[in-house]
Amino acid sequence: MPRQLAQLGQTGLNSLGKLGRSLLVLIAITGGVPALLFRPKLIIRQLYIVGVLSVVIITVSGIFVGMVLGLQGFYVLSQFGAAESLGMMVAASLVRELGPVVTALLFAGRAGSALTAEIGLMRATEQFAGLEMMAVDPVRRVLSSRFVAGLMSMPILAAIFSAVGVLGGYLVGVALLGVDDGAFWSQMQAGIDLQRDLVNGLIKSLVFGFVCTWIALFEGHDAIPTSEGVSRATTRTVVHSALAVLGLDFVLTALMFRN
Amino acid sequence: MIKQHKLWQSKSEVKAQITDRLAAILPGEILVNIKDLCFKRGSRVIFDKANLVIRRGQVTAIMGPSGTGKTTLLKLIGGQLQPDSGSIEVAGFNVHQLSHSNLYFLRTRMGMLFQSGALLTDLNVFENVAYPLREHTKLPESMIRKLVLIKLEAVGLRGAKDLQPSELSGGMARRVAMARAMALDPTLILYDEPFTGQDPISMGVLMQMIRKLNDASRLTSLVVSHDVQETAAIADQIYLIYGGKVMGQGNPKQLLDSDSPWIRQFMDGLPDGPVKFHYPAPDLQQDLFTHA
Ligand SMILES: Nc1ncnc2c1ncn2[C@@H]1O[C@H](COP(=O)(O)OP(=O)(O)OP(=O)(O)O)[C@@H](O)[C@H]1O
Ligand SMILES: [Mg+2]
């Protein structure tokens, strides 16, 4: 029993230590952001790697999620004779929830894991030490640009996801199941509110982008610099990001959609 | 506001002092002074009151068995590791008491060749060598190109400028890293095993290069190496370290003629003698025949 207690205490201490380290890394990362304004090339390169290369998976997933929403929504709504509201239902679920959340989950799997692995391997191959000895701060130089790129990419990716998802819903609902074309769009237009739906969705994706990129960069930076350490860190990135996104989504939704 | 201004001023004052002091040290005077250095990794003692000096304009060699802490010493000098006690001064400044930005400033005057090369894998050979120039100077592109090609020519890899680090052999990567370490024409260059993985021809060229570079541009070089003959041929001063202490020092001739059994064993590469080949371990018999 005392041993288990000691272990519990140790685990608690380790987690606290990790939290502290991640905050320090975050502070260091933000410290490097102002300097990036003078070197937009660094950000553009990372935007390409983190954002543009994620567009395909986001688009494909968006279409399928939208199509499934169209199918399921149609079956439920037509039971109540409200199939015309399909457009509004698809768009609301995408913009409010599925867009930001699924994009963040995909982002963590596609871009977050890659960031962790890249940074972990850079440390394992002494590239960080090399930068330090060249008088270049590796946190500011390597992590900050990736952080900004992640933060900027996520809302755009989520927007793409939602837009494509609406098209997927349209495809299934209107083209396949015969919902009225005009009703589909007009109900959507009437039902979606700029502040309540779009802005809140944007805030969510910004928060998720912040958290996912932070986790990915920190895990890479904190990884034990060996192949095993990096592989574990990559797994942790995906797991922790997913948990953080789902948990935060609940909190944010509760805060945003109180009546 | 005023206070901030002062802070900023005193910071840049230290930088100016570093520049002045580096320029004022004459050949033969002490550039790096390591006093009573103690350093531990966990419970393993790596340095135990080691004392070394590195003089301006000389090629100083650090030799010692694998795992004694030669790489660790270079990292301590570069300020990447903190000593447990003792001090390391470069040009009179205690490396470990400098502020972050002053330490980084001092590092622009140091070049380091890592044992593994440590090239940036997302840049090609040319960009790797150009990297410190782009980060720390505002030279025009044409000038950078010339400087990089000159450095690459010196290590015989001008033709490889468009290759990616993954396309280089170990020896080539190390030569690129050497060109990168020289890129800013530093005052002090630290070479971690520059000869490992080099064929006899490039080894000869690199030896000549280290020596010539050192003499031609008022450089100071610190070479970590296992190759006794090669190192003896170019070094002005050799330190032998073992067990956390400096076990022998002097110019190559003094060491080669020394009759200390320890120095003899190392310089002649003998298996038996005071130096143990093995990492500390329990008795082999006992280890093999007892069940864990
Ligand atoms: N990151 C680390 N954590 C713990 N111990 C380490 C670490 N790096 C090195 N050591 C230990 O420090 C000692 C000195 O290592 P170092 O790399 O300085 O040796 P070295 O003299 O450069 O050896 P070699 O000639 O093989 O390169 C070794 O015994 C090693 O076990
Ligand atoms: Mg070494």
The whole-number average pLDDT for the span B210-214 is 87
Lowest mean pLDDT among A158-167, A229-238, B242-251, B260-269: B260-269
Residue with tokens 């999620």: A65
The CB of B194 under 6 Å from ligand 1? The reply is no
B contact set with A (CB within 8 A): 75, 78, 80, 104-105, 107-108, 110-112, 114, 116, 118-121, 131-132, 135-136, 177, 180
Q: What is the pLDDT of residues B75-113, one digit of tens each?
A: 999 999 999 999 999 998 999 999 888 999 999 999 999
Task: List the residue whose alpha carbon is closest to atom 12 of ligand 1.
Answer: B69
Distance from CA of B284 to the nearest CA of A (A): 29
Q: Which helix (H) or strand (E) holds B128?
A: helix B125-136
DSSP single-letter state for residue A94: I
Using DSSP, state whether B280 is helix, strand or coil: coil
Alpha-carbon span A136 to B272, nearest angstrom: 45
Would you tell me how many other CB atoms lie within 10 Å of the CB of residue B145? 15
Is the CB of residue A157 less than 8 Å from the CB of residue A51? yes
Q: pLDDT by residue for chain A (259 residues), tens digit each?
A: 788 999 999 999 999 999 999 999 999 999 989 988 888 888 999 999 999 999 999 999 999 999 999 999 999 999 998 888 999 999 999 999 999 999 999 999 999 999 999 999 999 999 999 999 999 999 888 999 999 999 999 999 999 999 999 999 999 999 999 888 999 999 999 988 888 889 999 999 999 999 999 999 999 999 999 999 999 999 999 999 999 999 999 999 999 887 6
Determine phi and psi for B25, rounding to 5 degrees: -75, 125
Q: Ligand 1 pocket, B244 CB below 6 A?
A: no
DSSP A106-134: HHIIIIIHHHHHHHHHHHHTTHHHHHHHT
Distance in angstroms (rounded) separating the CA atoms of residues B162 and B148: 12
CB contact (8 A) between residue A134 and residue B135: yes
Residues of B in contact with A121 (CB under 8 A): 121
Q: Is B159 in the pocket of ligand 1 (CB under 6 A)?
A: no
B266: helix, coil or strand?
Answer: helix
Query: Could you tell me how far CA B60 lies from the centroid of its own chain?
Result: 10
**Is the pLDDT at B116 greater than 90, yes or no?**
no
Is B67 close to ligand 1, i.e. is its CB under 6 Å away? Answer: yes
Name which of A111, A205, A102, A93 is nearest A154 in CA terms: A205
**A116 or B266: which carries more pLDDT confidence?**
A116
Q: Could you tell me if A136 lies within 8 Å of chain B, comparing CB atoms? A: yes
Taking the CB of residue B20, how many other CB atoms lie within 10 A of it? Answer: 10
**B37, B41, B191, B224: residue to mutate for ligand 1 pocket, most atoms within 8 A of CB:** B41
Both tokens assigned to A19: 């939290």
Sort out which chain B residues have CB atoms less than 8 A from A136's CB and list them: 132, 135
| Torsion sign over Cα A133, B115, B188, B79 | positive
Give the pLDDT confidence score for residue B10 in this predicted structure.
58
**Percentage of residues in chain B having pLDDT higher than 90:** 41
Number of neighbours of residue A115 by Cβ within 10 angstroms = 27
Dist. CA A12–CA A10, nearest whole Å: 5
Instruction: Provide, as residue numbers in chain A, all residues whose Cβ is less than 8 Å from the Cβ of B180.
Output: 134
Give me ligand 2 centre to Cα B116, in Å: 9
> Residues whose CB is under 5 A from ligand 2 (ion)?
B 71, 115
Pinpoint the alpha helices (H) of chain A: 2-31, 33-36, 40-46, 55-79, 86-93, 99-107, 113-124, 127-133, 138, 144-170, 181-191, 200-222, 227-256
Contact status, residue B38 vs residue B83, Cβ threshold 8 Å: yes
ipTM over 0.95: no
Contact assessment for residue B76 and residue B25, using Cβ atoms and an 8 Å cutoff: no
Distance from CA of B140 to the nearest CA of A (A): 16
* Partner-chain contact B118 A137, CB within 8 Å: no
Evaluate: CB of B46 within 6 angstroms of ligand 1.
Answer: yes
What CA–CA distance (Å, rounded) separates B161 from A149? 29
Is there an atom of ligand 1 within 6 Å of B71 CB?
Answer: yes
Gap between the Cα atoms of B178 and B63, Å rounded: 19
- Looking at residue A82, what is its pLDDT? 87
- Looking at beta carbons, which residues of chain A come within 8 Å of B186? none
Which residue of chain B is at minimal alpha-carbon distance from A126? B118
pLDDT tens-digit readout, B171-180: 889 889 999 9
User: How many Å apart are CA B67 and CA B153, to the nearest integer?
Assistant: 33
How wide is the angle at C-alpha A136 spanned by C-alphas B114 and A143, nearest 5°? 105
**Which residues neighbour A249 within 8 Å (Cβ) at sequence distance 6 or greater?**
A97, A100, A101, A204, A208
Q: With CA atoms as reference, report the closest residue to B120 among B157, B166, B153, B51.
A: B166
* Mean pLDDT, rounded, for B13-27: 86
How large is the angle between the packed helices A144-170 and A200-222, nearest 10 degrees? Answer: 140
B107 and A126 in contact by Cβ < 8 A? no
At residue B28, what is the residue type?
G
In sequence order, what are the residues at sequence separation of 6 or more whose Cβ sits closer than 8 angstroms to the Cβ of residue B220?
Answer: B31, B32, B54, B55, B56, B57, B58, B60, B187, B188, B189, B214
Q: What is the CA angle B61-B66-B67, rounded to 5?
A: 105
pLDDT at B6: 47
Q: Residue A133 is nearest to which of B110, B120, B136, comparing CB atoms?
A: B110
Residue B267 has pLDDT above 50, yes or no: yes
State the pairing for strand pair B110-113/B188-192.
parallel
- The protein residue with its alpha carbon nearest to ligand 1, atom 26, reads B66
The pLDDT of residue B5: 45
Query: Measuring CA to CA, how many Å separate A167 from each of A56, A68, A69, B158, B159?
Result: 16, 12, 11, 54, 53
- Name the maximum alpha-carbon separation found in chain B: 73
Please report which confidence band the pLDDT of residue B292 belongs to, taking 50, 70 and 90 as the band edges.
Answer: low
| Contact B72 CB / ligand 1 (< 6 Å) | yes
Average the pLDDT over B259-286 and give the result.
Answer: 76
Pairwise CA distance, residues A89 & A71, whole Å: 11
In angstroms, the CA A140 to CA A39 distance is 12
Angle at B247 between CA B245 and CA B252, to 5 degrees: 135
The 8-class DSSP code of residue B279 comes to: P
Give the distance from residue B283's alpha carbon to the nearest chain A alpha carbon, in angstroms: 30
Whether the pLDDT of residue B214 is over 60: the answer is yes
- Residue B125 near residue B161 (C-beta atoms within 8 A): yes
Contact list, B114 vs chain A (CB under 8 Å): 126, 129-130, 133
Q: A254: exposed, middle or buried (C-beta count within 10 Å: 0-12, 13-18, 19+)?
A: exposed
Best of A121, A134, A140 to disrupt the B interface (most B CBs within 10 Å) is: A134
Q: What is the pLDDT of residue B125?
A: 95
Query: Which chain B residues are Cβ-neighbours of A131 within 8 angstroms?
Result: 120
